A and B are shown apart, each in its own frame.
Chain A
């Protein structure tokens, strides 16, 4: 007889229940970087990447510290106790070593003891992959609530004297709690539009454990400015909405000019001219997997987005990997 394995009851839809973020205290301006001996200027950095200032963690501020802080805030925002979290996912590509992962330590710190916990490495696309995985876990009945965190300490992996990277990358963490939609509530997380371009693997690399991050800026810029708007449109189509329904566009905060190029293409394709476009890179730098939830949390704090707004997220980066989805903000 073939055994019949029991399955979890399926859930109709998932929603984001809370958001949180954490950044190091230390603000580093463009002038600070120029003053440290790197051959650059405030004007050059603002013009090329749009960054005004960013945050660098101190040596004793770890990725797990930032992730735990952001995660705890998201839990509080969702009004949930740690005991109500069934799984913790940390999207990151900058842990100081391969093992242990970040997620198990973050779960322990927050008080979610013995929770299923794992890291996702899809670099700057990591948060969208983690969010999609969390939504699928909730929908499949594997977890009632999943905490998803994007956290990076990029300064551990950046050459402080390499002016092509040290002006861009920064540290931080952002988090979201995903839970089931109530019976009278529509789903609030659309299907993921995701993919990869392994043929461009060599364009963003940390070659080995003793090396720093290196990227081929022009190639990545071309890829992101031409290929990510179609991914965003795919996510919109999969969610069964129209581009004109999008209130907020939150692309990975890689470079303000990439963000603006994606927004321009989407507007040409039907997105509204009054669509809010995330520009958190100006104050936070490029924080890889943390950039999308950081931007969402900051925009909410600034009153630029509201509960119920329809947001289009699209993450992209090393791999190359990309993922996007439409979400309703909590």
Chain B
């Protein structure tokens, strides 16, 4: 899977969970500061990432995923 494909999948998930436009969801965006996503929405995103890509995202790992790019890299490594 390419990083573009992972980004596309994550953008769809973030859009569904938090209602953020997919065009806004780019690699350098911070979930909290730029996309206004709170800790509970991050859990919902993690659960959907697990369902979609098969990569487990435990809570302690989730805390390290600050940007969309962090999440894409994490999935690329763990899918």
Binding site for B on A (CB under 8 A): 47-48, 217-219, 221-222, 225-226, 255, 257, 261
**Complex formed: what's the CA distance from A261 to B40 in Å?**
11
Flag if B59 contacts A218 (CB, 8 Å).
yes
- Give which listed residue, B40, B42, B47, B59, contacts A257 with CB less than 8 A: B40
Flag if A222 contacts B38 (CB, 8 Å).
no
The proximity string for B residues 17-30 relative to A, scoring 1 for CB distances below 8 Å and 0 otherwise, is: 00000000000000
Residue of A nearest to B59 (CB): A218
**Complex formed: what's the CA distance from A257 to B40 in Å?**
9
- Give which listed residue, B38, B44, B46, B59, contacts A261 with CB less than 8 A: B44
Chain A hits for B47, CB < 8 A:
222, 225-226
Flag if B44 contacts A48 (CB, 8 Å).
no
Flag if B38 contacts A219 (CB, 8 Å).
no
The proximity string for B residues 39-67 relative to A, scoring 1 for CB distances below 8 Å and 0 otherwise, is: 11011101100000000000100100000
* Cβ of B51 to closest chain A Cβ, rounded Å: 9
Chain A hits for B38, CB < 8 A:
47-48
Residue of B nearest to A226 (CB): B47
**Complex formed: what's the CA distance from A53 to B14 in Å?**
30
Chain B hits for A257, CB < 8 A:
40
Flag if B39 contacts A217 (CB, 8 Å).
yes
* Cβ of B41 to closest chain A Cβ, rounded Å: 9
**Complex formed: what's the CA distance from A136 to B67 in Å?**
52
**Complex formed: what's the CA distance from A248 to B53 in Å?**
33
**Complex formed: what's the CA distance from A92 to B73 in Å?**
46
**Complex formed: what's the CA distance from A154 to B38 in Å?**
26
Chain B hits for A255, CB < 8 A:
40
* Cβ of A135 to closest chain B Cβ, rounded Å: 33
Flag if A218 contacts B39 (CB, 8 Å).
yes
Q: Name 4 extra pairs, CB < 8 A, besides A218-B59, A222-B47.
A: A221-B40, A255-B40, A257-B40, A261-B44
Flag if B59 contacts A219 (CB, 8 Å).
yes
**Complex formed: what's the CA distance from A217 to B47 in Å?**
15
Residue of B nearest to A216 (CB): B59
**Complex formed: what's the CA distance from A208 to B38 in Å?**
31
**Complex formed: what's the CA distance from A218 to B43 in Å?**
7
Q: List 21 A-B contacts (CB under 8 A).
A: A48-B38, A48-B40, A217-B39, A217-B40, A218-B39, A218-B42, A218-B43, A218-B59, A218-B62, A219-B59, A221-B40, A221-B43, A222-B43, A222-B46, A225-B43, A225-B44, A225-B47, A226-B47, A255-B40, A257-B40, A261-B44
**Complex formed: what's the CA distance from A261 to B46 in Å?**
14
* Cβ of A323 to closest chain B Cβ, rounded Å: 23
**Complex formed: what's the CA distance from A217 to B40 in Å?**
8
Chain A hits for B59, CB < 8 A:
218-219, 222
Chain A hits for B43, CB < 8 A:
218, 221-222, 225
* Cβ of A320 to closest chain B Cβ, rounded Å: 15
Residue of B nearest to A223 (CB): B43
Residue of B nearest to A255 (CB): B40
Chain B hits for A221, CB < 8 A:
40, 43
**Complex formed: what's the CA distance from A221 to B46 in Å?**
12
Chain B hits for A226, CB < 8 A:
47
* Cβ of A193 to closest chain B Cβ, rounded Å: 21
The 7 closest A-B pairs by CB, nearest first: A222-B43, A218-B59, A221-B43, A221-B40, A218-B43, A226-B47, A219-B59
* Cβ of B55 to closest chain A Cβ, rounded Å: 15
* Cβ of B43 to closest chain A Cβ, rounded Å: 5
**Complex formed: what's the CA distance from A73 to B54 in Å?**
51
Chain B hits for A218, CB < 8 A:
39-40, 42-43, 59, 62
Chain B hits for A222, CB < 8 A:
43, 46-47, 59
